Amino acid sequence: MKLTVNGTAHEVDAPPDMPLLWVLRDLIGLTGTKFGCGMAQCGACTVHLDGTPMRSCITPAAAAADRSVTTIEGLSADGSHPVQRAWAELDVVQCGYCQSGQIMSAVALLAANAKPSDADIDAALSGNLCRCGTYQRIRAAVHRAAELSKA
Amino acid sequence: MNDLSNASRRRFLKAGAAVVGGGLVIAFTVPLAKRFAGGGEAAPAAPAAAPAANAFLRVGSDDSVTVLIAHSEMGQGIWTALPMLIAEELDADWSRVRVEHAPAAPVYAHTVFGMQMTGGSSSTWSEFERYRQAGATARALLVQAAAKQWGVNPADCRVENGIVSSGSHSARFGELAEAANALPAPDKVALKEPKDWKLIGKATKRLDTPEKITGRATFGMDVKFDGLLTAVVARPPVFGGTVKSYDAAKAKAVPGVRSVVQVPSGIAVVADHFWAARQGREALSVEWDLGPNAALDTAALQAEFQRLADTPGLAAAKAGDPAQAMKQAARQLQADYSVPYLAHAPMEPLNATVRIGPDRCEIWAGTQFQTLDQMVAAQITGLKPEQVQIHTTFLGGGFGRRATPTSDFVSEAVHVAKAAGQPVKTVWTREDDVRGGYYRPAYLHRVHIGVDDKGLPLAWQHAVVGQSILVGTPMEPMMVKDGVDATSVEGVVDSPYLKGIGAHRVEIHSPKTGIPVLWWRSVGHSHTAFVMEGLVDELALAAKQDPVEYRRALLKDHPRHLGVLNLAAEKAGWATPPPKGRARGVAVHESFGSIIAQVAEVSAQDGRIRVHRVTCAVDCGIAVNPIGIAAQMESGVAFGLGAALHSRLDFREGRVQQSNFHDYVVLRLDEMPQVDVHIVPSTEKPGGVGEPGTPPVAPAVANAVAALTGKRLRELPLRLA
Ligand code: FES
Ligand code: FES
């Protein structure tokens, strides 16, 4: 099957029901997208499919064929995406394991809503668990990213 | 790990003395050894030099200062705090500081616990001398090298921002590194006076952010190299179960499955990738011998705990004659407090990668217990511990789960790789993790308090019932005394409240249940703070006193407790009424060398508790990195609040009922309160910060709920309806 990930075309040999998460991680070698629950409960595996955030752990790879997949690695070459800059500025990360998913969800939120309220952020990001409890900084960083995106 | 008393610290030190390496030597290696950074296709090369070089830092010819961290970065920010200590004394250019996890070697043994490990909120205080010494030693060598080159007196050299200078001479660290490397290290170096600190105490951003916001950071889960296979293991559905028989035919028929092997913990399906391994496990049929715990049941356990609480236990603390004193009491309070079993559920499910060669075993793992892993792997493979090489990756959360005295997930992975005869990454699913044991034990506290006519306690009888974490582990000889596991009663026996009561008795029962248990962020304090601060609040309300005022009276001889209590109360606006429909509750608790007070502001709707704000005052002694401390307080609050409001594990017919985040509920973003952290300025020696933020939140919330509704909740998770 053919997959376009971060603008690069890949031909992968995967059973059609294999979740996109494992195709990305184990077949293509992009390990920035994380496994946390495998049942759409934690958001660690969030990627964009044609710009829409998806939980790749329950998305069959076949559903991504001929569509454009964006992972954390595709956001910027150097961490310069406004969301990443905001994350760095506010020292959001702790263990870091959930953060690819958090950032991908935040990017999708800001693409749809340039100036989200706290309630918007709660609604968009409550599907992304963080056991380190970086939530307060995530909220602040989403607001900051909205400012940075404007500039 | 628990908060060790000085006496047990000394015992630990003594027990560990054989393992602790010799004096401090700083190795300057030029050029930088290539570190395993993951992401490469080829197998990472072993470091060229033996790891026993005692290296805490290296100065590269490119002016980089690479700090080797003897502890595991699991989110707590140790990759930033320890480099700060070195850079402070070294006067390094902070922008040139790089960080690596140290390999497993005796020289990196914990300065107090005697083995290489991360736990007990101890990394900063236990390294406060050693890492500063390392920095100061390196600085002295660089200065000596410069002075020699220039023919000047070392005393006339200055160091600033990675540059040594004297008069018109100046040289960058990188230019001096090789010459410095050839010099003998001085026996003694002086450390800076606190007033001269530039970095210690300065809010410093994390050094691991760039890789963690780009997906580049390598966690155990992300390790890859050619020929690496992935396994998932079918484990018994009941703790203590064993394999009776199994049929692997269908599993082997799954495309991508390479082999199915039996290991002590169950049956491992080894495949080209995770998905195939998981599908293979689904197809596997195993007949289990369920063993002795097949009837395990939460209600039955609770009944047994209740029964035990009324029988005499082992004395963990005693003073005066509480039974006699109780007779003088103007009023009495009897209460049961209880907490459930809990999983740590770190965001990254457990995993470990193992490659076994004829004379070497390599392990890539996010572990908190390198020394034990090394010993256990040596035993399994028949190698010597020094032939077991451990590459510590980033940990996707630890919270204690990655510090198992049995090395459970690492040793299992070694068994799998050995049985498969190939390099294998053994991966746990979330269900495996939630059902895999090593839980925070459930506890029941049964307490009987007598108060005088002013409402102040004069007699206190306290029974603690719950499994011992330490019995049966290598730590038992050090931390279990006369049958009393210090971690079961920490926070009670050393409570400042109890110390002020002339007649008290704490008894302990440590039933065995068959459930594997473990330290969970803040260990015993995760339940004892809830109990002690709940009880004191009950006493305050019964005495019709303000909860802060009442605590002030009881804590009058504990200035640091008073300091955080007053600060939190002030910052939370305790003296002014909360917004309509809300109430505040307070808790103050010491753990791991730090004292923390929290004020929670809550409301309730349709039986659902909402926590809006938590004001947190922390006295952790010298505050090495204020941003990191604030982050750990926020983190501790979120972790404790998830448990206070939601998390519990139940057993029925031996089986854990919860399995994933839909039923093992933890805190989500929409429930995160605003957390304001206030640090008490202090010159006391540093205390821990990774764990102490967790204990006070559950009681602060329960106390606020009591103030709001008049209902006293004595069981976690808190349930109003
Ligand atoms: S791994 Fe996909 S949502 Fe948790
Ligand atoms: S930073 Fe550790 S889980 Fe979010």
DSSP string covering B688-708, please?
Answer: --SSTTSTTHHHHHHHHHHHH
What is the share, in percent, of chain B residues with pLDDT greater than 90?
Answer: 87
SS3 B202: coil
SS3 B446: strand
Closest by Cβ to B672, choosing from A38, A42, A136? A136
CA B260 from centroid of its chain's CA atoms: 35
Q: Which among B151, B130, B138 is positioned nearest to B97, based on CA atoms?
A: B138
Query: What distance in Å separates residue B133's CA from the closest CA in chain A?
Result: 27
pLDDT tens-digit profile of B66-96?
999 999 999 999 999 999 999 999 999 999 9
pLDDT tens-digit profile of A41-93?
999 999 999 999 999 999 999 999 989 999 999 999 899 999 999 999 999 99
CB contact under 8 A, B674 and A103: no
Query: Is residue A128 a contact partner of residue A98, using CB atoms and an 8 Å limit?
Result: yes
Q: Which residues of chain A have a CB within 8 Å of the CB of B616? A: none
Token pair 């107090």 is found at B112
Q: What is the pLDDT of residue A37?
A: 98
Hey, CA dihedral for B456, B720, B519, B200, is it positive or negative? negative
CB contact under 8 A, A26 and B275: yes
Q: What is the pLDDT of residue B37?
A: 24
**Which domains, from first to last, does chain B contain?**
2-214 (3.30.365.10), 220-291+350-427 (3.30.365.10), 298-341+439-709 (3.30.365.10)
Q: Would you say residue B480 has pLDDT above 60?
A: yes
Region for residue B54 given its phi and psi (left: phi exceeds 0; alpha: psi -120 to 50; beta: otherwise): left
Q: Which residues of chain A have a CB within 8 Å of the CB of B281? A: none
SS3 B420: helix
Among the four given CATH numbers 3.60.20.10, 1.10.150.120, 2.40.50.140, 1.10.10.10, the one describing domain A82-150: 1.10.150.120
Q: Which ligand is nearest to the CA of A19?
A: 1
Query: Is residue B350 a contact partner of residue B468, using CB atoms and an 8 Å limit?
Result: no
Q: What is the pLDDT of residue B15?
A: 28
Q: Which residue of B has its CA nearest to A27?
A: B273
Token pair 């916001």 is found at B213
Confidence bin at B194 (pLDDT 50/70/90):
very high
Q: What is the pLDDT of residue B188?
A: 87
Query: Is residue B335 a contact partner of residue B404, using CB atoms and an 8 Å limit?
Result: no
Task: For chain B, say whether A39 makes contact (Cβ under 8 Å).
Answer: yes
CATH class of A2-74: alpha beta
Q: Which among B349, B361, B126 is positioned nearest to B232, based on CA atoms?
A: B349
User: Which DSSP string corresponds to B563-602?
Assistant: HHHHHHHHHHTTTSPPSTT-EEEEEEEEETTEEEEEEEEE
ipTM: 0.98
CB neighbourhood size of B361 (10 A): 23
Question: Distance from the CA of B252 to the center of ligand 1, in angstroms?
Answer: 27
Q: Would you say residue B33 has pLDDT above 80?
A: no
Q: What is the pLDDT of residue B41?
A: 28
Question: Distance from the CA of A138 to the center of ligand 2, in angstroms?
Answer: 11
Query: Is any atom of ligand 1 closer than 6 Å to the C-beta of A43?
Result: yes
Token pair 């109360």 is found at B569
Rounded CA separation B706/B584 (Å): 9
pLDDT tens-digit profile of B148-159?
999 999 999 999
B450: which DSSP letter? E
Confidence bin at B114 (pLDDT 50/70/90):
confident
Question: How many H helices and E strands in chain B?
Answer: 20, 28
Provide the token pair at B243: 């394999």
User: Which whole-number Å values give the CA distances from B418 to B280, B402, B412, B421, in the listed order?
Assistant: 19, 22, 10, 5
To probe the interface with B, which of A109, A131, A135 has the most B CB atoms within 10 Å? A131
Q: Where does chain A hold its CATH 1.10.150.120 domain(s)? A: 82-150
Q: What is the pLDDT of residue A16?
A: 85
Closest by Cβ to B669, choosing from A33, A91, A138? A138
| Least reliable range by pLDDT among A132-136, B19-23, B387-391, B511-515 | B19-23
CB neighbourhood size of B138 (10 A): 27
| Helix runs in B384-429, H state only | 408-420
Task: For chain B, say whether A138 makes contact (Cβ under 8 Å).
Answer: yes
Query: What distance in Å separates residue B343's CA from the closest CA in chain A?
Result: 12
CB contact under 8 A, A94 and B661: no
Closest by Cβ to A37, choosing from B222, B230, B660? B660
Q: Would you say residue B24 has pLDDT above 70?
A: no
Question: Distance from the CA of A128 to the center of ligand 1, in angstroms?
Answer: 9
Best mutation site among A55, A72, A99, A129 for ligand 1 pocket (most ligand atoms within 8 Å of CB): A55
Confidence bin at B112 (pLDDT 50/70/90):
confident
Token pair 């998981």 is found at B278
Non-local CB neighbours of A137 within 8 Å, separated by 6+ positions: A90, A91, A92, B631, B634
Encoded amino acid at B510, one letter: S
Q: What is the pLDDT of residue A121?
A: 98
pLDDT tens-digit profile of B423-457?
999 999 999 999 999 999 999 999 999 999 999 99
Non-local CB neighbours of B28 within 8 Å, separated by 6+ positions: B58, B59, B138, B141, B177, B178, B180, B181
pLDDT tens-digit profile of A89-108?
999 999 999 999 999 999 99
Q: Which among B633, B602, B649, B609 is positioned nearest to B696, based on CA atoms?
A: B633
Count A/B contacts: CB-CB distance under 8 Å. 185
Task: For chain B, say whether A46 makes contact (Cβ under 8 Å).
Answer: no
Non-local CB neighbours of B559 within 8 Å, separated by 6+ positions: none
Rounded CA separation A144/B498 (Å): 47
Q: Which residues of chain B have a CB within 8 Å of the CB of A37? A: 430, 660-661
Query: Is residue B329 a contact partner of residue B498, using CB atoms and an 8 Å limit?
Result: no
Query: What distance in Å separates residue A112's CA from the closest CA in chain B?
Result: 19
Q: Determine which helix (DSSP H) or strand (DSSP E) holds B373, and give its type and residue range.
A: helix B370-381
Q: Where does chain A hold its CATH 3.10.20.30 domain(s)? A: 2-74
Question: Distance from the CA of A54 to the center of ligand 1, in angstroms?
Answer: 10
Q: What is the pLDDT of residue B714?
A: 98
Query: Is residue B601 a contact partner of residue B704, using CB atoms and an 8 Å limit?
Result: yes
Q: Which residues of chain B have a CB within 8 Å of the CB of A129? A: 347, 661, 666, 668
Which residues on adjacent β-strands are paired with residue B675?
A: B614
Q: Which among B416, B425, B421, B389 is positioned nearest to B224, based on CA atoms?
A: B425
Q: What is the pLDDT of residue B12?
A: 32
pLDDT tens-digit profile of B321-378?
999 999 999 999 999 999 999 999 999 999 999 999 999 999 999 999 999 999 999 9
DSSP helix, strand, coil percent of chain A (3-state; round to 5): 40, 15, 45
Q: Which residue of B has its CA nearest to A103?
A: B213
Provide the token pair at B190: 């002086």
Smallest CA separation from ligand 1 atom 3, residue: A40
| Helix runs in chain A, H state only | 20-22, 61-64, 82-89, 99-112, 118-125, 135-150
Q: Would you say residue B664 has pLDDT above 60?
A: yes
Query: What distance in Å separates residue A88's CA from the closest CA in chain B?
Result: 6
Interface of A with B in 54-93 (CB under 8 A): 71-73, 75-76, 78-79, 84, 87-88, 91-93
Query: Is any atom of ligand 2 closer than 6 Å to the C-beta of A128?
Result: no
Q: What is the pLDDT of residue B54?
A: 44
CB contact under 8 A, A95 and B347: yes
Q: Which ligand is nearest to the CA of B345?
A: 2
| Least reliable range by pLDDT among B12-26, B284-298, B547-561 | B12-26
Q: Which residue of A has its CA nearest to B77?
A: A94
Query: Is any atom of ligand 2 closer than 6 Å to the C-beta of A93?
Result: yes
Which residues on adjacent β-strands are paired with residue A2?
A: A11
